[in-house]
Amino acid sequence: MERSFIMVKPDGVQRGLIGEVVKRLEQKGFQLAAAKLMVISREQAEKHYAEHQGKSFYEELISFITSGPVFGMVWQGDQVITISRMLMGKTNTLDAQPGTIRGDFAVHTGNNIIHGSDSPESAEREIANFFREEEIVNYERTIQKWI
């Protein structure tokens, strides 16, 4: 079963969008495996966004993501990485279609509500950065056979 690290960013937490994000992922048919409200350290943020080190927006990105609580989650399901990124919408908010989370709630690319892993390798690395293995809950849902 594929897993993804999905996070409501500080702007989404401040704007009261945790429930909206959880609702959309749940209703699509994905299963929540772990969740935590946390303020992430600079070290965790640098690990999380290592691929962007040196880019023009890097410092702003690190200071934004560490500026307040985030809601980190592990979600699982078939193709959860690709499909959750479709639900999120494009990175550039001018390309994020209405109906997607960013398309419905974000105006600026730097404040775009939500993060989702972009590959199985990123997901594994990101989950390990924010969760201990024992915090991830394995359980069966009877509804799963309908999805």
- Note whether 120 binds ligand RTP by CB under 6 A: no
Per-residue x/- track, 11-30, ligand RTP (CB under 6 A): --------------------
Q: Residues, the chain, total?
A: 147
Cα angle 122-63-97, degrees, rounded to a multiple of 5 = 60
Q: Is 112 annotated as a binding residue?
A: yes
Residues 59-78 that bind ligand RTP (CB under 6 A): 61
Neighbours of 7 (CB within 10 A): 24
Of the candidate spans 18-26, 109-117, 127-135, 138-146, the one that interacts with ligand RTP by CB under 6 A turns out to be: 109-117
Residue 52 contacts residue 108 (beta carbons within 8 Å): no
48 has catalytic annotation? no
Give residue 37's identity as a one-letter amino acid code: L
- Note whether 31 binds ligand RTP by CB under 6 A: no
Secondary structure E strands in 3-128: 3-8, 31-38, 70-76, 114-116
Of the candidate spans 16-24, 72-80, 107-115, 129-137, the one that interacts with ligand RTP by CB under 6 A turns out to be: 107-115
- Which of 48, 52, 108, 115 does the annotation list as catalytic? 115
Residue 49 contacts residue 43 (beta carbons within 8 Å): no
Q: State in angstroms the smallest separation of the CB of 112 from ligand RTP.
A: 5
Report the binding-site residues for ATP.
Answer: 9, 57, 85, 91, 102, 112
